[in-house]
């Protein structure tokens, strides 16, 4: 019969790390397909038609309106990331405190803590500014770049949120086991 107490710590830590980082893959794999060239063109065309309904506007005015809209979408994603970062910070503080309080739980809490750091790094990467001369050469290339930026930020926010959620659940489970002294049931000899 399998007993968690008989497993080496590194195996359990590896499983927790893999689960906290890779588990969100199942939930966001559909989103990652959105970065294909065909779907980017579809997004661009749908948004273009949406803003080209008024016949009195020329292409540059339509592009300006569309780029403004896409920039607002990126701002919304950044605001979501600004919400995830304090959530991760609180979880990191609590779980670090718990890891210091319960020496036996420290190895099991380190993997989800690492996941929270990865989630925070994804959120922080959204704040980088990209300046490229060829992007602003024409309105068409700027619209394409803005569409790609919206897709990338939405993928990053979704990954960060799912990783944070899974890490919170894993850490809460570990703390519940240690705090409630549930190890006596799991490790009964």
Q: Which residues of the chain have pLDDT under 70?
A: 1-36, 54-57, 180-189
- Residue 89 is predicted with a pLDDT of 94
- Residue 83 is predicted with a pLDDT of 94
Say how far apart CA 47 and CA 27 lie, in whole Å. Answer: 25
Q: Where are the domains of the chain?
A: 17-22+35-49+59-186
- Residue 2 is predicted with a pLDDT of 38
Residue 153's alpha-carbon distances to 43, 46, 62, 101, 163, in angstroms, are 15, 19, 23, 37, 15
Give the three-class secondary structure for 52: coil
Q: The tokens of 17 are what?
A: 């790390």
- Residue 62 is predicted with a pLDDT of 78
Residue 186's alpha-carbon distances to 4, 91, 99, 180, in angstroms, are 7, 26, 20, 12
- Residue 58 is predicted with a pLDDT of 73
- Residue in this structure with the two tokens 């710590």, named with its chain if needed: 9
- Residue 120 is predicted with a pLDDT of 93
- Residue 88 is predicted with a pLDDT of 94
**CA end-to-end span of the chain:** 11
- Residue 150 is predicted with a pLDDT of 87
């Amino acid at each position: 019969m399998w007993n968690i107490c008989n497993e080496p710590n590194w195996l359990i830590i590896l499983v927790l790390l893999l689960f906290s980082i890779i588990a969100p893959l199942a939930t966001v794999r559909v989103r990652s397909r959105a970065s294909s060239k065909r779907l980017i063109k579809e997004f661009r065309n749908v948004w273009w038609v949406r803003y080209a309904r008024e016949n009195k506007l020329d292409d540059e005015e339509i592009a300006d309106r569309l780029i403004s809209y896409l920039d607002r979408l990126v701002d919304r994603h950044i605001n979501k990331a600004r919400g995830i970062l304090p959530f991760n910070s609180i979880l990191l503080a609590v779980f670090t405190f718990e890891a210091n309080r319960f020496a036996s739980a420290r190895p099991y809490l380190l993997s989800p803590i690492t996941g929270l750091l990865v989630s925070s790094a994804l959120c922080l990467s959204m704040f980088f500014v990209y300046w490229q001369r060829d992007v602003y050469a024409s309105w068409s290339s700027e619209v394409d770049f803005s569409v790609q930026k919206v897709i990338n930020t939405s993928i990053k926010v979704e990954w960060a949120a799912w990783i944070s959620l899974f890490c919170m659940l894993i850490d809460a489970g570990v703390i519940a086991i240690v705090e409630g002294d549930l190890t006596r049931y799991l490790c009964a000899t």
